[in-house]
């Protein structure tokens, strides 16, 4: 005689959505398997600080097993999902397979080069720890190469940094680069003056931080100028190679010689969305996101939830919710509550996102924040930014360390983790 197995929840992807779903399922009468390709959860909003040498990879990553170790009914598998057999409620993995009663897909998004996949080699994006350490190495190596370059034109190309895309990630990268050039490296070189670096922020839309209110975009642009960053809006990249970028603005095309180009322009949802669509008839949007029901399930499959950057939830405002951590966390918690409710035979109201506002930091003492109609900027917004990020890092063990790094960097204007390492790695 065997006991009936408990309700089996399989969750794929331990980003913000997945992790918060798993944590909210603690103590629920389910067996939970968390599947991820990586053994750690990454605090992605601070990834740009690894890319710019302020933090070390270990400070913004926590082992998934450790975060969930108090959750005795949860097990963690390091694996990759190859296919979904929806009719058998089964996932095929790179090694083995697993059956589910409820499936939660939270595999997020990756960088997208709008049909120019070859650009990835010249303009790395910022999605993984490996991306961040590779960008860090590129930025530092560019200054090193400039220091040794006798030819003035080549030296200028080494000292020209182009960031494509002026959303929060692009703005944060550009601001940090401005500080590196003007502050951090000020006394480190003999042949070049790092402050002469040419930092260019390209945006296809009309203004930097296009998802923010107009007044905050203006402030961000002004603050960037103070850090030596020139932003150029209405500028679309039409060519990209190892010598620089070609930009079209209106009718004019311009070639910018730059050895370092960083990509923060667009993301595409994980390919698991396409696999799911093939098997369920779910509809994808242009970015590959799965268009979900009001309860975050896939049409015709109440047992399959899709959350976070992989989901397009448009029932609230007519527009998809933004691909940010607070949305993913709220969706993760909602799915956990829904599963608990169903097991009790209850139903849940549709998902509703309570807007947490938008935050972006531009540099030392400078940030912009919009909470509904309340717009703040400058030092106050920067303090809010610090507080919010430290608050969410509470979930992990690294809060104290990150705080020490930040305080130290703030006082000394230094960046401790300025390592050029080989290959992608962390």
Structure tokens at 32: 């939970």
Q: Is 69 in the site for its own copies (CB under 8 A)?
A: yes
- Can you tell me which of 239, 243, 281, 416 binds its own copies, judged by CB under 8 A? 416
Note whether 197 binds its own copies by CB under 8 A. Answer: no
Q: Does 100 bind its own copies (CB under 8 A)?
A: no
Tell me how far, at minimum, the Cβ of 76 lies from its own copies, in Å. Answer: 8
* Residue 5 makes contact with its own copies by CB under 8 A: no
Calculate the alpha carbon distances from 39 to 79, 110, 147, 298 in Å: 9, 18, 39, 28
**Integer Cα distance of 173 and 365 in angstroms:** 15
Interatomic CA distance for residues 236 and 228, integer angstroms:
21
Question: Which residue lies nearer to its own copies by CB, 134 or 282?
Answer: 134
* Residues 33/77, Cβ–Cβ less than 8 Å: yes
- Longest Cα–Cα distance in the chain: 81
Question: At its nearest, how many Å lie between its own copies and the CB of residue 55?
Answer: 8
Check: CB of residue 259 under 8 Å from CB of residue 160. yes
The yes or no reply on residue 138 touching its own copies (CB under 8 A) is no
Q: Which of 59, 149, 172, 221 is catalytic?
A: 172
Stretch that binds its own copies, among 77-85, 110-118, 225-233, 360-368 (CB under 8 A): 77-85
Contacting residue, 95, 121, 195, 283, with its own copies by CB under 8 A? 95
Q: Least distance in Å: CB of 413 to its own copies?
A: 11
Residue 121 buriedness (CB in 10 A; 0-12 / 13-18 / 19+): exposed
- Find the shortest distance in angstroms from Cβ 179 to its own copies: 15
DSSP string covering 384-400, please? HHHHHHHHHHTTSS-HH
Work out whether 8 is an interface residue with its own copies (CB under 8 A): no
Residue 65 touches its own copies, criterion: CB under 8 A: yes
Q: Which residue has the tokens 């150029």?
A: 232
Binding flag, residue 61, its own copies (CB under 8 A): yes
Size of the site for its own copies (CB under 8 A): 58
| Cβ-based neighbours of 67, under 8 Å, separated by 6 or more | 19, 23, 41, 395, 396
Is residue 46 near its own copies by the rule CB under 8 A? no
| Shortest distance, position 128 Cβ to its own copies, whole Å | 9
Q: Does 77 bind its own copies (CB under 8 A)?
A: yes
What is the closest distance, in whole angstroms, from the C-beta atom of residue 353 to its own copies in the complex? Answer: 31
User: How many CB atoms are located within 10 Å of the residue 55 CB?
Assistant: 25
User: Is residue 176 within 8 Å of 184, Cβ to Cβ?
Assistant: no
> Which residues lie below 8 Å from residue 337, measured CB to CB, with a gap of 6+?
24, 348
Annotation marks residue 59 as catalytic? no
d(CA 107, CA 80): 10
**For binding to its own copies (CB under 8 A), which residues are involved?**
38-40, 53, 55-59, 61-63, 65-66, 69-70, 75-79, 95-96, 129-130, 133-134, 140-141, 144, 147-148, 185, 187-191, 397-398, 400-401, 404-405, 408, 412, 414, 416-426
So which residues are the catalytic ones? 172
């Amino acid at each position: 005689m065997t006991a009936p197995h408990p309700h089996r929840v399989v969750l794929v992807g331990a980003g913000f959505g997945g992790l918060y779903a798993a944590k909210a399922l603690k103590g629920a009468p389910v067996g939970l398997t968390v599947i991820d390709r990586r053994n750690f959860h990454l605090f992605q909003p601070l990834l740009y600080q690894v890319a710019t040498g302020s933090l070390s990879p270990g400070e913004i990553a926590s082992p998934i097993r450790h975060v969930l170790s108090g959750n005795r009914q949860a097990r963690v598998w390091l694996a990759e999902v190859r296919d979904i057999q929806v009719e058998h409620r089964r996932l095929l993995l790179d090694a083995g397979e697993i059956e589910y009663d409820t499936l939660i897909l939270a595999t997020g998004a990756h960088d997208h080069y709008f049909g120019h996949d070859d650009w990835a080699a010249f303009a790395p994006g910022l999605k993984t720890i490996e991306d961040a350490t590779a960008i860090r190495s590129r930025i530092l190596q560019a200054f090193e190469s400039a220091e040794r370059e006798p030819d003035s034109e080549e030296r200028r190309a080494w000292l020209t940094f182009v960031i494509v895309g002026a959303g929060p990630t692009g703005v944060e990268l550009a601001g940090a680069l401005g500080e590196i050039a003007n502050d951090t490296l000020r006394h480190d070189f003999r042949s070049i003056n790092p402050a002469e670096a040419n930092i260019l922020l390209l945006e296809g839309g009309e203004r930097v931080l296009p998802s923010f209110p107009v007044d905050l975009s203006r402030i961000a642009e002004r603050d960037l100028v103070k850090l030596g960053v020139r932003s150029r809006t209405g500028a679309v990249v039409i060519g990209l190679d190892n010598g620089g970028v070609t930009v079209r603005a209106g009718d004019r095309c311009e070639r910018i010689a730059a050895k370092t180009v960083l990509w923060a322009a667009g993301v595409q949802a994980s390919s698991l969305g396409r696999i799911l669509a093939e098997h369920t008839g779910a509809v994808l949007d242009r970015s590959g996101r799965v268009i979900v029901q009001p309860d975050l399930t896939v049409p015709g499959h109440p047992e399959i939830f899709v959350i976070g950057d992989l989901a397009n939830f448009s029932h609230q405002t007519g527009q998809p919710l933004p691909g940010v951590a607070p949305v993913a966390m709220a969706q993760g918690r909602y799915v956990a509550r829904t599963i608990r409710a169903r097991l009790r035979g209850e139903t849940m109201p549709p998902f509703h996102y309570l807007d947490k506002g938008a935050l972006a930091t531009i540099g030392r003492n400078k940030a912009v924040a919009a909470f509904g109609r309340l717009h703040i900027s400058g030092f106050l917004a920067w303090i809010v930014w610090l507080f919010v990020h430290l608050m969410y890092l509470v979930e992990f063990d690294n809060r104290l360390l990150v705080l020490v790094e930040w305080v130290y960097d703030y006082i000394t204007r230094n960046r401790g983790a300025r390592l050029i390492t080989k290959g992608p790695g962390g």
